[in-house]
Structure 1
């Protein structure tokens, strides 16, 4: 048909369709034009009649002359008009399309808002922290808020106080050695004087001495103490009187002693004694000389982990007291477990270096800071923090509270002082050092659960939001608003259920820790323990450091028995520099000795 041109003559047989518009030249027939005109009855065609392309020749054969071909035929024009009508947009159709677009946009926006609600992200951390603190409380560890719980897993250094932390904190007098002749001063009178003096002290060692003296004297009544002075890191000084009634029945003659003086100066009436109790340095500051025999006796006890202190009455060395505080049985296991977790462990104490070394050897601590003051502890925590380390401090006393507050995580023993408990972030109810390990372990589990919760919430949002926005509509995936709301609720529930899995946490028991350490715990030798006095030459004066602290730091304990490391560090200072520093500190000491009266609760021997 593409070859037919206008003017061509075409023969159309009965039953055939007229291919083009044309004019009948020869023959008669009937044509069915219902397709074009809608006329139901056939139309008669004879020479001269017009035929329409697409109509049907019903009867005879005819010859027609083509007048319109291709797109010019009537049928082609009708088809074109229909297509144009279909392509044209009327105002009503435009309005309906706009309404559909707005409705789709509104629906998808509602779905996106529902599914993008950050409930799961908001619940990921607080639910895990809430469950973690509850589980910690069930296991004997009180954690004050989420920050210490999340911080504990970052701890790289744990600093332990000694008295009441590594040890039981209930010291006992192991030996009371009288250094003068019984004729000069009886043991009973020395006990009465010492017990009266220490009764004004709140330090655990002072309490132990007072208890021992009362037990030996068989009385709860002591004498009078006045002008009491407690010097941190050194000892105490005071005046004691009215002890005659305590010793009267043991000395019925009432003969005078070689020490003490009466207020009348005639040897009658109640005697008043000037008492000094403390370490070597305290005695030397007050002009007393310590013989090598006495120093050796003190050293023997200190090497056993005991604290040795001296007693001077009216300027005469009268006695030596050896005090021991037993190490907690789980201390070595807890410290080994911390070290196996990659945590550095440090012992920091106000006790003397020899006792500190002995205790550190027993529990397996390699690094020790001995003879430190409260301000030294704070300075050491700050020094480690300045190195980028996260530090935990474990203590129980008032003198530990500044360091507990300064540390990234302060851990207080539940049996400690109220001040320490208030300053700490974590409180161990059961006084068990293995709970320090448990708190760090639980912190790691909690942080791991928080990360899992966040990953679940992010995956939910990353997958759900594109689906809710209609990105996958071409493949038939569409979410209705109610589906988005249900998905949002399901994500929140999944995060809560994930956090509740922490309820399954059980603190490892003692047997498990012992099984892990079996055959691996090895006792340390004294040479493996590094002992530093005060802060050594690395310390930088903190705002809390007093002139007294600085003096103690420079002169050390002054007993002439420095270990190798102490001698090496002292050589780093020039002789001229040391003389100038000592002269300056001596001047400060002379001025402050008569005016400084520190609270007795800060007394450190």
Structure 2
């Protein structure tokens, strides 16, 4: 780092006053969340906000009408009630709290997201950055003045001022402020998955030169804050469809209630306007309407609790409909630290010769895999007897499937997939031998990855790259299978290695020797069958496939291109997290379906509780199946239950219905049995108890 080394580190270190960020995640104040939700629930009574929920807007209008009748009892003509102002006032209060409880459910879900956003905002503040000019000079500027493309210099103790890519250096970075993980993360240039850094994190060792990849206000934390605060919250397609359905149902019930006075007049049992409003509110699906937004917001919040940031509720919801899950092998199904374990010589070459050729072919390979090959070769005694400065590195390509070094004098050292090395040697008039195939199978049957090494037209041996299947991964795939999700493993490894890993991990299907183009093809084939596909990735070459997939999860350690392509970012960089996200998505849909079922059966039960109100004047008391004390007590009891059931169900809406590893039809049957039957029984019990309480206190 020559431009940096010439600068005095003492002069360049950030002053204590420049590092004002919190180095730990701020604790979320639970009391503050509830106070914010209570306040926001009143603010949401504004007509501009109320009209966004058609069902609750009808209740909002009903509240105003009953309030008017409370003030002016004869507004719609004479009333037959003994104390109309008391009764109408009680109706007004109950209807008001019905709307307020619905607002509170939404506000509470939003407040939890805002609390997380505030915790993130506490680690993001203006800092002094050391901007590096092209001539090597350094200027101290505010982090808010950094632009995309600027280069900055950071040393141990500095806060990284903005999102960027490491272009020079190796250093440990503390990302606990974002991920909550205390262990430092190694960042280095030349690595496809370890060069991306996030603004607000802190460098704790060595030094880096970073190229800024985001303009002020458009960094990763900025986007996270905006999403958690709900600034970009949009209703999902399923939410919109359900909202329209509930609005249509409410409109139908509105017409039904509007025609009741005609029938009541015919049987000489007049119905007052407050009673009609009470009947309408009891009929329309207020429970699910009041909780619908909270369920969607809570779904994104649960994803955030897994340290995953979703770009939209649509992405979370889509997870619940996923049919096919496409996963990389390395780092997802296996631990991902694929390192050189052994050298296998062939063609009468010694292990020392293989180590030397492997060292020569890997000298320019900055990946962890390449560095492990260099370390193993040097441990076996291999040394440079050529000048790297007079050599040229050949980068790995998904098309050539190999990398290496062009040595001084025209000699070519290569390492790569066995098939690719065979083709390379044949193009130089060389031959492969049966020994190569034997070594290839030996490594593959152990679940390892074989890399052949050659010098010009001669193959020297095979490198054994070892990886390990993650503990418990088979059980997780079994759970997904029971939920009807088909799993596909994609890997660049050969078929033998892929088959061994696939069998050990328990995936449904595998595709070996896959290229980035193959990923897109597999996704398109599955989508052509009408399936929703989810996949995970982290590299630049994953970006096209991430865009194509219906749900895409990118690692926080991934490249900027991958992050921009995906609709979810995992702050912990754990590829298996996608399995959890699919479960959360399914939980979101199950919760919405369960509460919708509960709400509809509730409405049916409440309807039968209020029927006696219509017919008491014509001596049809036999219809009073619940033996309620009076018409007034029946109406009040039904509406009190209607209001209270919303806050009772808020914890379930926020936490979600417990998910079971069952298929869709099994879940449907289970929900109908538990929430459908429960929703039909609960109102009869609760309304009868409330009626007895009302009678006891003399409000009937």
**Structure 1 pair 402/216, CA: closer, same or farther in 2 (3 Å)?**
farther
Match of 2:511, SS state, is strand
CA RMSD of aligned residues (A): 4.5
Q: Is the counterpart of residue 169 in structure 1 residue 336 in structure 2?
A: yes
Report the counterpart of residue 392 of structure 2 in structure 1: 226
2:544 aligned residue (402, 414, 431): 402
Structure-2 change in CA distance of 1:285 and 1:480 (3 Å): same
Q: Deviations for 1:131-185, whole angstroms, at most 9, x for unmatched residues?
A: 34434444566555433433333333322211111111111112224557779x9
Change (3 A) 1:501 1:159: closer
The 1:281/1:457 distance shift into structure 2, 3 A limit, reads same
Q: Larger Rg: 1 or 2?
A: 1
Equivalent residue for 2:416?
278
State yes or no: 1:350 paired with 2:492: yes
Distance in 1, Cα, partners of 2:538 & 2:313: 22
Residues 513-555 of structure 1: CA deviation (Å, up to 9, x unaligned) = xxxxxxxxxxxxxxxxxxxxxxxxxxxxxxxxxxxxxxxxxxx
Query: Hey, what does 1:198 align to over in structure 2?
Result: 365
* Residue of structure 2 equivalent to 1:254: none
Give the superposition deviation at 1:355: 1.2
Q: 1:406-421 to 2 correspondence within 5 Å? A: 406-412=548-554, 419-420=561-562
Higher relative contact order (CA 8 A, sep 6+): 1
Correspondent of 1:360 among 498, 502, 520: 502
Taking the aligned partners of 1:181 and 1:352, their CA distance within structure 2 comes to: 25
> Does structure 1 conserve the Cα–Cα contact (< 8 Å) formed by 2:591 and 2:653?
yes
Matching of residue 329 in structure 1 with residue 496 in structure 2: no
Residue in structure 1 matched with residue 523 of structure 2 by the alignment: 381
What SS does structure 1 have at the residue aligned with 2:493? coil
Instruction: Quote how far apart the aligned CAs of 1:283 are.
Output: 2.8
Q: TM-score, normalised by structure 1?
A: 0.52
Cα deviations across residues 260-298 of structure 1 (Å, max 9, x unaligned)?
A: 62xxxxxxxxxx532332223323443142111122212
SS of the equivalent of 2:592 reads helix
* Aligned residue in 1 for 2:373: 209
Name the structure where helix makes up a greater proportion of residues: 2
Change in CA separation of 1:473 and 1:206 when aligned onto 2, cut-off 3 Å: farther
Q: Secondary structure at the match of 1:198?
A: coil
Unaligned runs of 5+ in 1: 1-95, 242-259, 262-271, 509-605
- SS of 2:453's partner is strand
The count of aligned residue pairs is: 380
Q: Would you say the 8 A contact 1:334–1:433 is kept in 2?
A: no
Q: Would the aligned equivalents of 1:400 and 1:420 in 2 still touch at CA under 8 Å?
A: yes
Contact preservation (8 Å) 2:355, 2:382:
no
Contact kept? 1:223, 1:240, Cα under 8 Å? no
After TM superposition, give the deviation of residue 110 of structure 1 in Å. 5.8
1:315 to 423, 445, 457: 457
Which shows bigger deviation, 394-403 or 215-224?
215-224
Q: CA deviation at 1:450?
A: 1.4
Deviation at 1:358, TM superposition (A): 1.6
Please say if residues 111 and 468 of structure 1, whose CA atoms lie closer than 8 Å, have aligned partners that are also in contact: no
Q: Are residues 334 and 340 of structure 1, via their aligned partners in 2, closer, same or farther at CA, if it must alter by over 3 Å?
A: same
What secondary structure is seen at the aligned counterpart in 2 of 1:176?
A: strand
The 1:187–1:162 alpha-carbon spacing in structure 2 relative to 1, beyond 3 Å, is closer
Distance across 2 between alignment mates of 1:340 and 1:427: 26
Task: Output the CA distance in 2 between the equivalents of 1:366 and 1:485.
Answer: 52
Closer, same or farther: CA 505–434 of 1 in aligned 2, 3 Å: farther
Contact kept? 1:396, 1:420, Cα under 8 Å: yes
Is the counterpart of residue 455 in structure 1 residue 597 in structure 2? yes
**1:370 Cα shift?**
0.7
Structure-2 change in CA distance of 1:444 and 1:174 (3 Å): same
2:644 alignment partner in structure 1: 490
Out of 428-437 and 440-449, give the one that drifted further.
428-437
8 Å CA contact 1:413–1:427 kept in 2: the answer is: yes
CA contact (8 A) 1:157 1:389 kept: yes
472-481 or 143-152: bigger deviation: 472-481
Contact preservation (8 Å) 2:357, 2:454:
no
Q: Distance in 2 between matches of 1:349 and 1:284?
A: 20
Q: Secondary structure at the match of 2:314?
A: helix
- Aligned partner of residue 411 in structure 2, secondary structure: strand
- Partner Cα distance (2:342, 2:376) in 1: 10
Alpha-carbon separation, structure 1, partners of 2:611 and 2:641: 11
User: TM-score, with normalisation over the residues of structure 2?
Assistant: 0.46
